Structure formats: C-alpha cells, structure tokens
Amino acid sequence: MSLYLVPAGINEDRLRSVARELVRTDNATQMRSGPGGFLWVGEQPERFGPAFDPATGVRVVISGRLSWPLAEWTRAERLPYEGGAACKLILERYLERGPDAVAPYNGAAIIVIQDPRSGKTHLWTDQFGYHPCFLYRGDSAADCIVTTFPDALLADPAAPVTYDLVSMAEFIRAWRTTPPHTYFSEVKYAGAGVHLTIDVSTGGIESTTYWTPFTGDFYPSIHVAAEALADAVRTAIAERTAIAERPVFFLSGGADSRVMLFSAADRSRVTGVNIYEHAAAETRIASALCDVAGCGFRALQRDNDYYPRNLEDIVRWSGGMWSAADSHYPGLADQIADLRPDLVMTACSADWLFKGYGLEKDDVKLLGRSLPFSRYLDDRIAAFLPIVPHPAPPDLAEQIHGRMARWFEGCADKFASPRDRLVVEDRRVRPACYAESVSGQIMYRRFPYDTFFADSRVAECYSRIHPDWKLNREVWGKAAAKICAEAGKIIDANYGWRLDAGPAEKAVKFAIGWFGRRLRKVVPTAPLPADRPPPMGSWPDLGWYAVHSATLRKLWDSVTREERERMSIVAGLDPWSRPLGDWRADGHGLFRVLTLLSHWRECERRGRAAPAEPLAGDQPASFLVRA
C-alpha cells in the first residue's frame, strides 16, 4: 500500500503524475483533489480503503493494514459511515472518544484523520514504525506532504527535492541511514509511535509520542515472559489470518517463521513458501512443518541470476534506502501472485525485537573458537549493530558522526543497568522501516503485506522483557516452542537443536555439528553445480555474482564519470578502482554500491517523466534531483 496526502491541498494533475509512479496494475486506487487531497493505493478497499462520515465530514485514510478481532470486522459493516471497514472502526473511535482514543492500534499502518470541524489533519504511526511514513517540508503545514514513498515526490512538480549525500554515505558504510533522514534533504521520517497534528490555518505541526517502552516493570521470570509473548504472538497472527482466505507465509526451517503456521486461524487456508538456492535441510524442514500444521507448501528456487536480474525493479519499488541484497521475496512476486494471496507475512525482525540483535554482545570462546553462546559487553558501540560500518568518508565524516551522536543522545556510554542496554537497543530497533537485513519497505508496495509484530500486545512484551532473556535467543525459543508444540521434534534448521533447548543440549549439538563439518572436509562429496551460487540456507552468497553474473557485469561497466565521482564522495573511495572480481569477498558492499547507483538512475528517470513545466496553480519547481 502507498499514500500521498497534502493537507493544504493538491490538484488532480499533480495527483495523476504521482499515481504513474505508485500504482501497479493489480492495485485499487482512490484519488481526491483539493484541500486534504490524497492518492491511496492498496488492496481490498472494502476493508482497508478510506472511510468518510457524511454527517461530520471527517475522513479516515490509512496506508497499510489494521488488525481487528473477527467480531469487530462484522460489526464494522453496520456502522453508519462510508468506505473500508478498518477505517470505519477508527472513525468510530475518533468521533466517540477523540484523538486520544485512536492509538495504540494493531497493524503495520499509518492512520490519517482529516477533521473539517477543526481544520486539522491528524497522523499516527505504528508503535514500532514498521510502515514507512515520511514528511516533505515537515516544518511547514502549508508545504507539508505526507508520503509512504519519498521517491514519489519526484513526480510532483510542486515538490522540489535535493540529494542528501550524507544519508547515501551512511547507507554505503552501514547498510542503513540514521533516522529521521532520507536520501532527500527536504524529507524526514515522521517518528515511531507518534501522533502529529497538522494545522494549515496556523501553519503549525505538533508531534507527541503516544508510546514509550520500558516504563514499567520487567516480567517476574523468563517463563512468565515466554508465556506472555507466546499468547501475544498467537493472538496477533490468529486475528490477521481470521479474515484471510489465502494467506501466504514466507517460511524457513528456523525458529521464527514457523510460529505463523501454528497460530493461523485456519491452517488449511495457509500456503508456506520456502525460497532456496539448493534443495537442502532447510527446505525439507519447512515442508515437514507444513505437513504437521496441515498447511500447503510451495518451494521456489532462485535462478542463478536472481539478485542482479531483479535489482533495478527492486530499487524502483523500494526507494533505494534498502539494499537489493535483501530482495529475497519481491523477485518472486509473479510466482506468489499465482497463489492469489490476500495476506502475505514474514517473521522478519524477530531477531531485532526478541533475540538481542541490537545488543552489545560477543561470542563466548573456547580454545579460540566461538561457541553458540553470547555474553554482554558493557561499553556502548557507536553503530547500528550488528553491522560493523566501514570508515566514514573523509568529506562527510563530521556530519555522519554528528547524526549518530544526536540519534543516540541521552544513551549511556557504559551500561550500569538493564534499562541502559534496552534504551540503546531500542534506538537500533525503531523505526523498524529503517532496519537492515529484513524485508524492508518494499514489501508494502509489492504484496498485501502485514507483520504480526506490529501489534500493541507484542509491544507490551517488548517493553517488559529483560535483556538477559534475549541473550542466546532464549525467551523467543521458549515462546516459539510453546506455540509450535505439535512440531516439538522438528529442529531449528539454523542450529540443529530444539527450539527450547537448554545450554547443555546446545553445547552437545554444537560439538556434534563441529565434528561433522570437519568430517565432511575429508570425506569426498558430490560436487556442487558450478553454474549456481553455493548453498547458504535462505541467504544468498552475493559475492558469487561478482564473478559469474553477466547482468551485474553490464551494470558495473555502465557507470558514467559523473556517477563514479559522486560515488567516490559518498563511499570515501572509488569502488571502480577495484576490479569487479575483487568484490567476491564483499558481496554486501558491492550490492550497496549498485543499489545506490540504480537509485540515482531511477531518480533521473522519474524526474524526466514528471511534467516539464509547473502545472496551473502550482509554484515553480526544480524537477531534477540536484547533487
């Protein structure tokens, strides 16, 4: 889903220009010009389309999907409003109890309410900031534009933008930018768990935070925490699937995605999809999980040019702030469309929320080798863990470090309490639409996508779980084991042990695996196909493409002198000074460079496609993005 909304007003020509860049053939759309004009793009408008109250003139528009109990969906049909059921329920909350009753809510979505009685536009973002939400000229109500896709501004002749090279440098060095910044200087992220009030009559924009984690007590024990987390996850998934006829879950053989199978309201409707490079243990385990749960199963193999071939299309729909290295799912959109899904979900970001991905920690070592256990580090690391960033480019280093310092302002440099650790981790977790190594913003524009983690019940667990219980994935393992008790004998494909295995069992399994890997090195095995990347489970060996992909070679060789000079500024060196084959050991770095290169070209294409002259009634604007 996507939304483009202008509180002060927008004409139809501008909206149609933006629509050319946001709408796909399978989308439903609604467009309204004038004051508070908007373009809504999505699926299932009967559920998620805008709603309107003729009596008061109040209008609700969402981008994303809201989740309600099944009885509420049924009741929404009887409400005296026009439009989508989810928005009608929000409209009822607002009209009966006012703005304070709107949030928190369940679902990866932003909510906009336009109230002509007060002349104000209200905007809410979800608690974790999963659904992207950005403000163009967020310092001025008269010029402000709300968009879920910054690149759409390139098609609006009244919204000139300029490149933010600092954000691009951050992406090259660390796989992500520092919030609230984007690739455009005029565009900033709205904030996670916030309520904004935009008043065009006064020119003011006010922002308040409606949810802050870690304000209450921790659960009394890890067992209580695991039970609460299991209940929250079960309920969140069950509610989302109760109204879905054909839910599709992207599935691995690990501990995260399997919880979706065993929490679905009607498992017989579900199809689990596993993506693989080589048929291996992970695919077999994913299939076995679907058999036990009574779900359908589909295995889809990536072709041997999958990531390079899809790169330009991925960038077109992601906006480039999210590396094409993470494009595991959108490249299979056509195959998924054959299943006609009305809900698509992944378990992306379980690592971030409940497995300590963003905590300062290190592996426990024995005889110089890392064991499958972690221990805390007490000093804060100046980075968005777990990625270790490249050095900042000299020309932009001061600005990069300044942004990092401001984002982590108020965080302890040395941890003296559990809360100190969690506050720092939270700065890395939220907003979730900025996180690296997950499915990213593109999922909302390519699928009928939601995440069960975007839920106020899950947020309560996140706020009350002690950081000690996240180490070694312990609390999540216990919760997942409770949810998936029917599949208790099916091991975690990533590690080879049961989901709730204790330290002793993990140590034994690790030792067996260690000896097995050494044995395989000395015992001859069948050679792998030479024309495919080596197996890495669900994850790609991106460096392989640097040596074997003609598509990647063509893109690499097509760089212009101007692009090369600009990339040298944001990278701090000239990536093309190294032969392409030398990137074999740094596939992620290579794909970040090519993602950004493709984004620049997409920006230029969108700029050329925009109207060449200001439209009637609009202010003059610069249509090409300026470096």
Of 146-160, 264-278, 602-616, least confident by mean pLDDT is: 602-616
Considering the domain architecture, whether residues 243 and 307 belong to the same structural domain is answered as yes
Average confidence score pLDDT of the chain: 90
Residue 384 lies in a domain: no
Considering the domain architecture, whether residues 481 and 577 belong to the same structural domain is answered as no
pLDDT in tens, 525-546: 566 677 788 776 667 889 999 9
Considering the domain architecture, whether residues 172 and 190 belong to the same structural domain is answered as yes
Considering the domain architecture, whether residues 191 and 226 belong to the same structural domain is answered as no
Output the pLDDT for position 453: 97
The domain boundary, picked from 522, 551, 579, lies at 522
Query: Left, alpha or beta for 362 (phi > 0: left; psi -120 to 50: alpha)?
Result: beta
Of 107-111, 125-129, 491-495, least confident by mean pLDDT is: 491-495
Output the pLDDT for position 618: 34
Which of 352, 353, 372 has its CA nearest to residue 501? 372
Output the pLDDT for position 623: 26
Q: Rounded to 10 degrees, what is the CA torsion of 337, 345, 4, 39?
A: 50
Beta-bridge partner residues of 362: 375
pLDDT in tens, 371-406: 777 899 999 999 998 888 999 999 999 999 999 999
Considering the domain architecture, whether residues 204 and 76 belong to the same structural domain is answered as yes
Residue 40 lies in a domain: yes
pLDDT in tens, 145-200: 999 999 999 999 999 999 999 999 999 999 899 999 999 999 999 999 999 999 99
Residue 152 lies in a domain: yes
E strand or H helix that includes residue 459:
helix 456-464
Residue 557 lies in a domain: yes
Considering the domain architecture, whether residues 175 and 103 belong to the same structural domain is answered as yes
Residue 417 lies in a domain: no
Residue 264 lies in a domain: yes
| Confidence tier at 288 by pLDDT (50, 70, 90) | very high
Output the pLDDT for position 73: 97
Q: Are 127 and 459 in contact (CB under 8 A)?
A: yes
Considering the domain architecture, whether residues 11 and 154 belong to the same structural domain is answered as yes
CATH number, domain containing residue 309: 3.40.50.620
E strand or H helix that includes residue 273:
strand 271-276
Kindly give the pairing relationship between strand 247-250 and strand 271-276.
parallel
Crossing angle between the packed helical segments 306-318 and 550-557, to the nearest 10 degrees? 50
Reply yes or no on whether the pLDDT at 31 is more than 60: yes
Domain residue limits at 450: 222-349+433-455+473-522
Cβ neighbours, 10 Å, residue 158: 20
Write the DSSP assignment of 45-79 as a string of letters.
HHHHS-EE-TTT--EEEEEE-----HHHHHHHTTS
Write the DSSP assignment of 300-350 as a string of letters.
EEPPTTHHHHHHHHHHHHH-SSS-GGG-TTGGGHHHHHTT--SEEE--TTH
The domain boundary, picked from 192, 213, 234, lies at 213
Residue 513 lies in a domain: yes
Residues whose CB falls within 8 Å of the CB of residue 425, separated by 6 or more in sequence, listed in order? 356, 358, 359, 467
Residue 100 DSSP symbol: G
As for how many domains the chain has, the answer is 3
Considering the domain architecture, whether residues 227 and 206 belong to the same structural domain is answered as no
Considering the domain architecture, whether residues 444 and 508 belong to the same structural domain is answered as yes
| Confidence tier at 495 by pLDDT (50, 70, 90) | low
The domain boundary, picked from 213, 234, 259, lies at 213
Considering the domain architecture, whether residues 105 and 10 belong to the same structural domain is answered as yes
Crossing angle between the packed helical segments 165-174 and 561-571, to the nearest 10 degrees? 70
Residue 366 lies in a domain: no
Considering the domain architecture, whether residues 193 and 331 belong to the same structural domain is answered as no
- % pLDDT > 90, the chain: 76
Q: Is the peptide bond before 104 cis (omega within 30 degrees of 0)?
A: yes
Considering the domain architecture, whether residues 159 and 254 belong to the same structural domain is answered as no
